[in-house]
A = this chain, B = another copy of it.
């Protein structure tokens, strides 16, 4: 069985208000060296398939990400 991580992020040209809210909150908490924050989604998928990477890429493109506004990256973690 493979454990595969999928990270889904808004494309760089799409505004990310959640990330900007975090960035603005940081100096008040004493963290003034952060220059950018982007927020996305992280999925961990357990899959029993020989072609786990290809299957999970299809799942990401179909169900986990919106390819119009989001990019995704797939990587094995186990």
Q: Which A residues are closer than 8 A to B by beta carbons? A: 1, 5, 7-9, 19, 22, 25-26, 29, 31, 33-49, 55, 58-59, 62-64
Given contacts A22-B64, A41-B40, contact A33 B5 (CB under 8 A): no
In the complex, what's the smallest C-beta–C-beta distance from A5 to chain B, in angstroms?
Answer: 7
Chain B residue at minimum C-beta to C-beta distance from A7: B42
Oligomeric state, in number of copies?
Answer: 2
29 contacts between A and B (CB under 8 A): A1-B35, A7-B7, A7-B42, A8-B42, A9-B42, A19-B43, A22-B63, A22-B64, A25-B63, A26-B59, A26-B63, A29-B59, A29-B63, A31-B55, A31-B58, A31-B59, A33-B47, A33-B55, A34-B45, A34-B46, A35-B46, A35-B47, A36-B46, A37-B43, A37-B44, A37-B45, A38-B43, A40-B41, A40-B42
